[in-house]
Amino acid sequence: MASKRARGAWNGLLFAVVLLSCAAVGKSQELTVGKPENRPDRLVTISGERPGELLAEYSADEGATWHPATIYLGASPDQRRASKVDDWNRSVKTGLIPVGSTPCVWNYFFDLASPRDNVLFRLRAAKDSAKTLLQENVDLSAAKDVVVIDATNAAHKCGGKLPEPWNLAPAGVKGTDVNSIHCQIDDEVKKQPPTLVLKPCLKGWYRIYLGMEPYSTCRIWLSGVNARYEVPNYYNPTRKSLQKIENRLLRESKICEADMTGQDICISPGGALAWHDVSIRYVRLAPMSEKEIAAHLELRRVAREKGRPFAGYLEPPGNCGKPLTLVGHIRDEMKLNQVRGSTDVYVHVVRIGSKAWYHSDLIEHFGMPDSPLHQPWMSEDDPLAIAVEQARRHGLRIFADAGMNACYFSTRGSYKGYHDRFVEQHPEVVCPSFDRHCMYYQNPIVRDYVVSIIAELLTKYDLDGVHLDFCRWGHRPAYDVESLIDVLRRIDKHRKEAEKKRGRPLLISARVEYDQPPAEGKPEPIFLAAVRAWAKAGLVDRIMVCNNTDTFDTATQTWRWPSAGELSGTSSRGESLGHYLDAIKGAKTKLWGDLYNGTWRIGGGPDKDVSIARGWVEQGLDGGFFYYMRARPSDFEDVNWRLRTIDFPGVYSNDP
């Protein structure tokens, strides 16, 4: 006991000396180290102005030895995503904290075998390592209620033995002697490895986090929910590009919040376009307080009872990595949409002018055995028929999503051979510009072709509506206003016939490219004029204006992502929706918010996306929101619920 008091006195004296030294270096006195109990994820926040680079270190032996701390650049998912990959990797490996004021986080779960009391933490000046700017005794006892499953207990949680080929293997990023839970994947996956089933035997609500070392991907789910989260997400790179992009090391992802009573944690390979070795440092479960549980449930109650609709997105397995089975893939996607708060799901079925991702009776599809781009999984069944069945099971409305003009009649690029035989037989329908990607709508046979496909979708499948995506592609020389009005008027006729057959309303949603308000005395641009005519005639129920998609530069024949300014509502692509609200004024048409990929690709995330959406709501946007949710990192999934409750901002608590 005396020794403990002596150590405490020594630490207090040392801390006083450190504070005095901090006062001598200006803004350094503003540096603070948080407590684990202040964050629901139990990590440690480092705040304050940093005029110079710092080195973060910890000691578990009262200062005898010091080690680089695993530092995350940013205290929230948005802030972490904004960091560059190289900066991230340097910080997690060396503890380097760059100049600035953005809070950082110490993830000590990568550094310490188990949470313990009285761990020393210090910040030193990177350029003058002899200068300690801050040193504190960080009490990690608040994390003792966190359940950690790692190499030390994984076999026990599996019933005594890991299933082959799962094993324990050194991770090698920070300390080669630290094992991860590992499953090696051959270059060509011929057989799905067995699922790793971990039995934590818990009761009550927990936040679930997954830490990976080194870079890895996987699918993780809870046995009672059976919604497979792809971590980090399917846009992760292929093996060939593994060392080039998005290779964030020592990454921890928040999976979900759940009542773990009677639930197991299941993990399998996958989670990317190309499967990788699975290397899991830990699964950790942080218990939720009664207040946190109540907030979680209240958010969802308000969304379901009062919130706006939310449309998620589902792509065919061919675009989403290696599926287990067609039915399994679609079932899982519908389940994910359900648990993430979707009310509707837009199921991509065709880019008109190309082969279809459903079993069409009119056009070629990717399941036809004689197709040069034959997809074997499409021979299992009709993807759209399965999607309708699974949507009904999960209480979701289903829309067939059609890219309204994408024939890909170019001989170059990854879409070579995608075009339908109609385009092959009628090359005169192809618009000569835009790399010959589009058909020319002013040609009557093009409109006949387009309408026939949408009519088939409305009559053959028990849908809730169709989503007509004119941003795929919105190449303006391919259209005129009269052709767009004609197409929608004829589609509306088939919609009404299908409504009589089904005995219920069917909805028409349309997505168009953003048009600037016309200059005084000038005619309205093509898509804006079409929206006005569609709404006045009652041809569409939902209009989405594309502010957040990739853009094709016809001069350079290249694609680019919009800038942060373009997505923030401060530039021409997003500064005003007033002219669209005017165009639909007095009609039953609702203006929806189109976030598509959102801002996560360019360093944003849920906070940025909700801010953009709130700006639209303040302008008068009265519909729901559409988000291409499948591409996002799992850490960002709360954005769906936040968008649904955007009219009730008080129900959301900003948890890490």
Distance (Å, rounded) from C-alpha 160 to C-alpha 154? Answer: 8
Residues 433 and 571 in one domain: yes
SS3 620: coil
pLDDT higher than threshold 90 for residue 365: no
Residues 138 and 245 in one domain: no
CA neighbor of 271 nearest in space, from 317, 238, 236: 236
Tokens of 217: 């991907």
Residues 51 and 191 in one domain: no
Using only the alpha carbons of the chain, give its radius of gyration. 27
CB 142 within 8 A of CB 36: yes
SS3 231: strand
> Which CATH number covers residue 270?
2.60.120
> Structural domain tally of the chain?
3
Residues 165 and 87 in one domain: no
pLDDT at 433: 81
Query: Which run of H or of E encompasses 447?
Result: helix 444-460
Residues 133 and 218 in one domain: no
Distance (Å, rounded) from C-alpha 211 to C-alpha 280? Answer: 6
Query: Is 348 inside any structural domain?
Result: yes
By mean pLDDT, which of 18-22, 88-92, 525-529 is the weakest? 18-22
Query: Is 304 inside any structural domain?
Result: no
CB 357 within 8 A of CB 318: yes
Distance (Å, rounded) from C-alpha 19 to C-alpha 500? Answer: 78
Residues 231 and 87 in one domain: no
SS3 634: helix
CB 166 within 8 A of CB 181: yes
> Which CATH number covers residue 591?
3.20.20.80
Distance (Å, rounded) from C-alpha 438 to C-alpha 407? Answer: 5
In this predicted model, what pLDDT tens digit does every residue of 582-621 receive, in sequence order? Answer: 999 999 999 999 988 788 777 788 888 899 899 999 999 9
SS3 465: strand
In this predicted model, what pLDDT tens digit does every residue of 188-245 receive, in sequence order? Answer: 666 778 999 999 999 999 999 999 988 788 999 999 998 999 887 645 544 444 444 5
Residues 375 and 457 in one domain: yes
pLDDT at 48: 95
For tokens 């028929």, name the residue.
385
Residues 485 and 595 in one domain: yes
Distance (Å, rounded) from C-alpha 579 to C-alpha 543? Answer: 13
Query: Is 328 inside any structural domain?
Result: yes
Query: Which run of H or of E encompasses 68?
Result: strand 67-68
Q: Show which of 142, 158, 190 is a domain's final residue.
A: 142
Q: How far is CA 463 from CA 204, 501, 541, 629, in A?
A: 38, 12, 15, 21
CB 339 within 8 A of CB 347: no
Residues 322 and 238 in one domain: no
Q: How far is CA 575 from CA 171, 375, 502, 547, 595, in A?
A: 48, 42, 41, 10, 14
Strand duo 507-513 + 542-546: pairing: parallel
Handedness of CA 155, 158, 164, 167 (dihedral sign): negative
Domain containing 189: what range?
A: 146-288
CB 98 within 8 A of CB 127: no
Query: Is 642 inside any structural domain?
Result: no
In this predicted model, what pLDDT tens digit does every residue of 509-548 receive, in sequence order? Answer: 999 998 888 888 899 999 999 999 999 999 999 999 986 5
Residues 280 and 356 in one domain: no
Q: Show which of 235, 254, 288 is a domain's final residue.
A: 288
CA neighbor of 160 nearest in space, from 198, 114, 113, 194: 198
Query: Is 302 inside any structural domain?
Result: no
Q: Show which of 142, 177, 193 is a domain's final residue.
A: 142
Query: Is 518 inside any structural domain?
Result: yes
Residues 443 and 335 in one domain: yes
Distance (Å, rounded) from C-alpha 316 to C-alpha 377? Answer: 10
Residues 138 and 161 in one domain: no
Query: Is 89 inside any structural domain?
Result: yes
Query: Is 553 inside any structural domain?
Result: yes
- Write down the pTM of the prediction: 0.88
